[in-house]
Amino acid sequence: MSSIVNKELFEQHYKSLCHFAWKLCGDLTEAEDLVQDAFIAYFNHEDHVSTNESAVKNFLYTSVRYAFLNSKRREKVVEKYWLTTPFSEYSQESLELNIIHSEVIAEVHKIMQSMPPGCQIVFKMGYFEGLSNQEIAKELNLSINTIKTQKQRALKTIMKKLNPEFLPVLLLWYSMIR
């Protein structure tokens, strides 16, 4: 079809299709989007649609209806997702604190790689897994004094190698897990 015929078709049916779509969804902007999608679908498939005006009109109205139904299905899927996924609004400050915390933890993990294996394990169990000295000693079959010594060595290594900017955050984190 030529672009002149397409323009005439668009002008002839646009308003009535928008009204139909608006009756379905109750939102003018969404209605206009549905109608535009219907015309795009028609122009993409016009080779398969009869040139009969009634067939074209039926195709457009059916396309609007299906586009509306599909949008409702998508909304239900999204709504179901949000109902099953915990979500809370974060303030800018909260997001920034989470970013800083992540950076500090990443830096601590890098520093841990330079520690002796026994020291790494004790540090990880004590500070990341939250186990007490007694629990670590029992699990690793070591004395409590060995666990305390390994934790002290790990903390000294962290404090010596940690970027000074991260020190206040690390101290806050350390005080929270104690």
- Start-to-end Cα distance in the chain: 75
Range of the domain at 160: 92-177
pLDDT of residue 53: 83
Among candidate residues 66, 84, 102, the one where a domain is terminated: 84
How many Cβ atoms are within 10 Å of 22's Cβ, its own excluded?
Answer: 17
Q: Are 53 and 123 in a shared domain?
A: no
Q: Are 97 and 167 in a shared domain?
A: yes
User: Number of folded domains in the chain?
Assistant: 2
Among candidate residues 24, 53, 84, the one where a domain is terminated: 84
pLDDT of residue 43: 85
**What whole-number distance in Å separates Cα of residue 135 and Cα of residue 138?**
5
What pTM does this model have? 0.46
**What whole-number distance in Å separates Cα of residue 85 and Cα of residue 30?**
26
Among candidate residues 49, 65, 84, the one where a domain is terminated: 84
Long-range contacts of 43-49 (CB under 8 A, 24+ apart): 43/6, 46/1
Residue-wise pLDDT tens for the chain (178 aa)? 456 667 888 888 889 999 999 998 998 999 999 999 888 888 888 788 787 888 888 889 999 999 899 888 888 888 888 778 766 666 667 777 778 778 888 888 899 999 999 899 999 998 888 899 999 999 999 999 999 999 999 988 888 888 777 767 666 665 655 5
pLDDT of residue 107: 86
**What whole-number distance in Å separates Cα of residue 107 and Cα of residue 71?**
45
Q: Are 47 and 103 in a shared domain?
A: no
DSSP at 141: T
Q: Are 11 and 47 in a shared domain?
A: yes
Q: Which residues contact 36 (CB under 8 A, 6 or more apart)?
A: none
Q: Are 140 and 80 in a shared domain?
A: no
pLDDT of residue 178: 53
The tokens for 8 are 């005439």
pLDDT of residue 91: 67
**What whole-number distance in Å separates Cα of residue 53 and Cα of residue 172?**
73
* Dihedral sign computed on CA atoms, order 28, 32, 34, 35: positive
How many Cβ atoms are within 10 Å of 10's Cβ, its own excluded?
Answer: 16
pLDDT of residue 127: 83
**What whole-number distance in Å separates Cα of residue 27 and Cα of residue 68?**
11
Alpha helix positions (H), 52-177:
53-84, 92-112, 117-123, 133-140, 144-161, 167-177
